[in-house]
Chains A and B, each alone.
Chain A
Amino acid sequence: MSAALLIEQVLNGLQLGVMLFVMAAGLTLIFGVMGLINLAHGSLYMVGAFACAAVAAATGSFWLGLAASLAAAAITGAIVEIVVIRRLYSRDHLDQVLATFALILIFSEGTRWLFGSFPLYLDVPPILSGAVPLPGGGAYSLYRLAIIGAGILVAAGLFLLIGRTRLGIRIRAGEADREMIAALGVDIGRLYTMVFALGAALAGFAGALVGTIQSVQVGMGEPVLILAFVVIVIGGIGSIKGAFIGALLVGITDTLGRFLLPIAFGTVMNASDATAVGSALASMLIYILMAVVLVVRPGGLYGTAT
């Protein structure tokens, strides 16, 4: 195992981590502020990817596609909040899960009806295409580096937004005591719509960025959604900082586990078995991580223990 390989794998872990953060940030904000479990967050990720692919195909510009993904997901999010989600705040979590699960089905079939079942083409823009050399003799995809950069920018922007702006103060106040800020004259309905649209836009952005190197297809959001839930449980529900740390932990654990475990087992058994056992265990690793974190800190790393 060379240093170059290790560096590349750590970068891969970081890239997965920051994308999970962009997904999980919206999810944790929505849960923290509104107390809502939104299973349809993965559908907004898909909406972003499809909007990006469709606009990029029509105009030939990836950047217009990226802007479209933000706009489409934010608008879809706002509409969904006003039409459906608003009625669910006072209901218990089971009703929310049922209703947002229904939204997943509606979005998936709606997208299939509009775009068909076959994956759409979306490719990396020429300026970010190809690989750059790494110290130590390796090389790394420029686009993945750009994803890491974009994810860190989003994280910085969110910290500023939550910590330094009026909207951020209201969001934090909403998390702490929603009746009180409503009584203080803040339009809580509008605040909720804005938070939901912001979370949706982040999911759409992640969908567009990741869809470019993966595959833009119906159902792409659900696997990511599961990982995003793991992230917010590890990080502590409602905490942006927790989501960030949790996402990086999950990204790096998953990537390095998939890479190192088969090698580790290879030292004690033959290569073929080691691969099978190692891969099986690697796919469980993040859930083991989640279980360990919950045993040590039941509220998550940065959550308020209840």
Chain B
Amino acid sequence: MNLITKSLAALAVLGMTSAAFAEPVKVGMITTLSGGGASLGIDARDGFMLAIKQSGNKDVDVVIEDDQRKPDVAVQIADKMIQSDKVDILTGIIWSNLAMAVVPAAVAQGKFYLSVNAAPSQLAGKGCNAHYFSVSYQNDNLHEAAGAYATDAGYKNTFILAPNYPAGKDSLTGFKRFYKGELAGEVYTQLGQTDYAAEIAQIRASGADSVFFFLPGGMGIAFMKQYAQSGVDIPLIGPAFSFDQGILQAVGDAALGVKNTANWSKDIDNAANKAFVEGFQAEYDRLPSIYASYGYDTANLMLSALAKASPSDADAFQKALEAADFNSVRGKFSFASNHHPIQDIYVREVVKEGDILTNKIVGTAMTDRSNAYVDDCKM
């Protein structure tokens, strides 16, 4: 009898997956924590760390470094993290030009990269990789939804505007894919530009019936304020990035009523999202942004895969990630064959709750949207 209980106990111990006793997993987070894009990186980091804290998992060791939105700095940090910190998984990059500089080299060295935001088309199509997953979206997605929304709303002559970098190009390509009307104008601005007077003058002269713009972070604040002062009153539409929680308070009432497309909103009704929004407010004393939601989902996806396999067993870990066996704050979530999400994309409106400007879902722009590059990816 004693022998039997002992062997049973031994078997039970053996039966526990290797993950439970795995050595600590090292995660390298490269993100933008200073300069004009800092609020995005800080939110992604805070969302990520919140999920790890809530999980109570003590085996995940996260190394965080600031890329200053500079591709060369990001590459240096990635090299250091891979060679000297010996990380197993990389994550955190916000900007697509930085992702293009870091991701291909990192996955070529056998590391996993989980994207909390940037997902350029180059990495979704021919440049896809078994070790690269985008948890946020494929860059075109929210812009495709904005194009679909503009068509549904009956706009026929839209002026479109984005910064001149990979995600900006993906943005306008995505918008045009589902927009059926004419273009009143198409303009690329500099990344980090803060004065949009010249572009606003062109918008005024273009005779457009609507303006689509993709300007994340400080760029969006500057554009919105200058637009409000310019006397141009053509309706604005954009992806969530142009009207994000971190931007709205600095823009002020000028943003009220503007429609934007998003795959997440704080009013999506599910338990995971509730735990996230309440937990984030309790921990950081501010409302979470869409970037925080991506960080949170990325960490939860990673934790769900770590519970099944260790990154040292690359094939098993990849399978565990592909299963996407976690509760996303977006509700439905699964991966397409090129490791980018299949998800619903909503239309939100900027509203005022008390004194706080925030977004509220008013409709659905696209259901179960995958991405345009699935067939180009040979994995």
Residue-by-residue, is B229-240 near A (CB-CB < 8 Å gives 1, otherwise 0)?
Answer: 111100000000
Segment from A22-30, A158-166, A212-220 that makes contact with B: A212-220
Interface residues of A in 234-287 (CB under 8 A from B): 255, 258-259, 262, 271-272, 275-276, 279-280, 283
B249 is an interface residue with CB less than 8 A from chain A: yes
A-B contact count (CB 8 A): 141
Q: Are A213 and B222 in contact, with the CB atoms below 8 A?
A: yes
Residue-by-residue, is B201-245 near A (CB-CB < 8 Å gives 1, otherwise 0)?
Answer: 110110000000000001101100110011110000000000000
Chain B positions within 8 Å of A219 at CB level: 34-36, 38
Q: Are A4 and B205 in contact, with the CB atoms below 8 A?
A: yes
Q: Are B201 and A12 in contact, with the CB atoms below 8 A?
A: yes
Question: Within the complex, what minimum Cβ distance (angstroms) separates B287 from chain A?
Answer: 11
Question: Within the complex, what minimum Cβ distance (angstroms) separates B182 from chain A?
Answer: 12
Q: Are A276 and B188 in contact, with the CB atoms below 8 A?
A: yes
Chain B positions within 8 Å of A129 at CB level: 229
Chain B positions within 8 Å of A190 at CB level: none
Question: Within the complex, what minimum Cβ distance (angstroms) separates B211 from chain A?
Answer: 16
> Could you tell me the distance between the alpha carbons of A158 and B229 in the complex, rounded to whole angstroms?
29
Chain A positions within 8 Å of B197 at CB level: 12, 15-16, 141, 144, 255
A121 is an interface residue with CB less than 8 A from chain B: yes
User: On chain A, which size bracket covers the interface?
Assistant: 35 or more
Partner of A280 from the list B164, B205, B251, B252 (CB cut-off 8 Å) is: B164
Residue-by-residue, is A100-143 near B (CB-CB < 8 Å gives 1, otherwise 0)?
Answer: 00000000110010000111110110000111000000111111
- Residue count of chain B within 8 Å CB distance of chain A: 42
B190 is an interface residue with CB less than 8 A from chain A: yes
Residue-by-residue, is A3-14 near B (CB-CB < 8 Å gives 1, otherwise 0)?
Answer: 011001100100
B147 is an interface residue with CB less than 8 A from chain A: no
Helix, strand, loop or mixed for chain A's interface?
helix
Chain B positions within 8 Å of A117 at CB level: 33-34, 38-39, 42
Q: Are A118 and B246 in contact, with the CB atoms below 8 A?
A: yes
> Could you tell me the distance between the alpha carbons of A59 and B24 in the complex, rounded to whole angstroms?
51
Partner of B195 from the list A1, A16, A109, A217 (CB cut-off 8 Å) is: A16
- What would be 17 A-B contacts, judged by CB atoms less than 8 Å apart? A8-B205, A121-B249, A121-B250, A124-B225, A124-B229, A131-B229, A139-B232, A214-B218, A214-B226, A218-B35, A220-B36, A220-B194, A258-B189, A271-B186, A275-B186, A276-B169, A276-B188
Interface of B toward A, CB cutoff 8 Å: 33-36, 38-39, 42, 164, 169, 183, 186-190, 192, 194-195, 197-199, 201-202, 204-205, 218-219, 221-222, 225-226, 229-232, 246-247, 249-252, 286
Interface of A toward B, CB cutoff 8 Å: 1-2, 4-5, 8-9, 12, 15-16, 108-109, 112, 117-121, 123-124, 129-131, 138-144, 210, 212-220, 222-223, 255, 258-259, 262, 271-272, 275-276, 279-280, 283
Contacts A129-B229, A130-B229 supplied; 14 other A-B pairs, CB < 8 Å: A9-B198, A119-B246, A138-B204, A139-B230, A139-B231, A141-B230, A143-B229, A212-B225, A215-B218, A220-B36, A258-B189, A258-B199, A271-B183, A275-B186
